[in-house]
Chains A and B, each alone.
Chain A
Amino acid sequence: MLDFSILLNNLDTYLEGFKNTVLASIIALLGSFIIGVIVAVMRIAPIKPLNWIGSAYVEFIRNIPLLVIAFFFYYGLPAIGVTLPAFVAGTIALAIYTASFIAEAIRAGIQSVPKGQMEAARSSGLTYLQTMRTIILPQAIKIVIPPIGNQFINLVKNSAILGMIAGLDLMYFGDLVSSRTFVTFPVYIFVAMFYLVLTIPLSLGVGYLERRLARSN
């Protein structure tokens, strides 16, 4: 029943997919972190129009299914003359989507530092940016790391979206092998194991950081 020879015969295919999943995850991880920080700054900066833009980004992107965003970048953009390869379209979608959650995590972290500290620092002569850098952010980072770590784990799992737009990732090749051989169960178990190879170390890493930060308090 469980014919695992199918998996070994297609090992090259899986490794190719695994490579692309890792690549997409790393790029999207960096991208989403950068966008997330920018959006978070916009949300909390003492400038109203920036707040609005930041909030609009988070509320729009966070509340749209990732699949829709990926389809938009892959199938939608050619309508205005922009044709992106599936891998690129999928990775951008992944970064943009995850960024909205990261921005929220950062905003929540910064705002969880009591307001009085900002007021005290400002009244003792520090500028807004100085207060942020030396007083608020060092405290916020500790609060923010665990939720951001969780978002990165989600990002790796969500990268399976590439499989839906022929993005040549792990899920795409898993689907391909199972639809050709009709061996579904072992194939998807194998795919799941590959994802675990990425997510379990990430998960342990987040847990470790969390414990260390808790201790340093």
Chain B
Amino acid sequence: MFKSKTSKIAGVLLLSASMLLSACGKGGDKETSGSAKNALEQIKSKDKIVIGVKYDTRLFGLKNPSTGEVEGFDIDISKELAKDLVGDAKKVEFKEVTSKTRIPMLNNGDIDAIVATMTISEERKKEADFSDVYFDAGQSLLVKKGSPIKGLEDLKKGTKVLAVKGSTSAINISQKAPDTTVLEFENYTEAFTALKAGKGDALTTDDSILYGMVDQDSNYELVGGTFTDEPYGIAVKKGNEELVDAINSALKKMKENGKYDEIHKKWIRSN
């Protein structure tokens, strides 16, 4: 068919190049249509939902060392979600996330949704889609009882405030108290351990999380009230409106049938 050796080689090269190109094209198509092809249906077809939750946040998501189970407000909300989306509260798999790892894990496809004390922010909306607000928190300060720090105004030059990498509170505090030194840790356990070890003067994050720390060690107290609004939302990978809608309707249902109030009462103190 080919006249000479060179044209044969050229033919083979051309053929393989075109195959490569078409393969690339196909692969690309498949990927885009795959992720657009409805995360909700994928969850239903694998018959379980994988949710990223905190393992170190008392009252919201905490791994109970004696039972090995994760427990908290976020956990119970996730179970209700699973009941609504896949029909069974047990068909949920929990994976540990931190403030730093949750969005990368969501984008990597390790988890279907984040229910992990996550504030809805404009910056984060560029990275993930959010459900309606399911909990209202506000940023506050945790100090050792008897500390001279009584509020935001006492955070001056030289005071050290501990926070967690990737949390909105770390960013907020450097804006609200620009003179103070902020030290950021991997997770809340380490930040609280550092506070107890005297590595800082105050710890800042959402009041909801701080109450969990007080629950654990009553030598510490919240001071200065809340100075931000932190509306928590459930995050899913960008471009999944169906899943967001399904989550929103599940949340709505929870609020209507009293399940939400029940979970709220179980974990959150009323002060």
Q: Determine how close the nearest CB of chain A comes to the CB of B180; give it in whole angstroms.
A: 14
Assuming A83-B199, A86-B183, A164-B186, is B194 touching A179 (CB within 8 A)?
no
Q: What is the total of A-B residue contacts with beta carbons within 8 Å? A: 46
Whether a CB of chain A sits under 8 angstroms from the CB of B25 is no
Assuming A176-B184, A182-B127, what are 16 further A-B pairs, CB within 8 angstroms? A74-B194, A75-B190, A75-B194, A75-B197, A79-B197, A83-B197, A86-B183, A165-B185, A166-B183, A166-B194, A172-B184, A179-B165, A179-B166, A180-B170, A180-B171, A182-B104
Q: Report Cα–Cα, A79/B194, bound state, in Å.
A: 11
Q: Which residues of chain B in 160-201 are interfacial with respect to chain A, using CB atoms and an 8 Å cutoff?
A: 162, 165-166, 170-171, 183-186, 190, 193-194, 196-199
> Who on chain A is nearest to B193 by CB?
A75
Which A residues lie at the B interface, using CB under 8 A?
Answer: 74-75, 78-79, 83, 85-86, 164-166, 172, 175-176, 179-180, 182, 184
Tell me the count of chain B residues lying within 8 A, CB to CB, of chain A. 24
Contact A180 B166 (CB under 8 A): yes
Whether a CB of chain A sits under 8 angstroms from the CB of B266 is no
Q: Report Cα–Cα, A172/B166, bound state, in Å.
A: 12
Q: Report Cα–Cα, A31/B134, bound state, in Å.
A: 53
User: In the complex, which of the residues A78, A179, A180 contacts B197, with contact meaning CB atoms closer than 8 Å?
Assistant: A78
Which B residues lie at the A interface, using CB under 8 A?
Answer: 99-100, 103-104, 123-124, 126-127, 162, 165-166, 170-171, 183-186, 190, 193-194, 196-199
Secondary structure of the B contact surface, majority rule: mixed
Q: Determine how close the nearest CB of chain A comes to the CB of B153; give it in whole angstroms.
A: 24
Q: Report Cα–Cα, A179/B190, bound state, in Å.
A: 17
> Who on chain B is nearest to A89 by CB?
B199
Counting chain A CB atoms within 10 Å of each CB, the highest count among B99, B100, B126, B196 belongs to B100
Q: Report Cα–Cα, A180/B198, bound state, in Å.
A: 26
Contact B185 A166 (CB under 8 A): yes
> Who on chain B is nearest to A81 by CB?
B198
Which 10 pairs, one residue from A and one from B, show the smallest C-beta to C-beta distance?
Answer: A179-B166, A78-B197, A166-B183, A179-B100, A179-B165, A83-B198, A182-B127, A75-B193, A182-B103, A75-B197
> Who on chain B is nearest to A79 by CB?
B197
Q: Report Cα–Cα, A85/B160, bound state, in Å.
A: 11
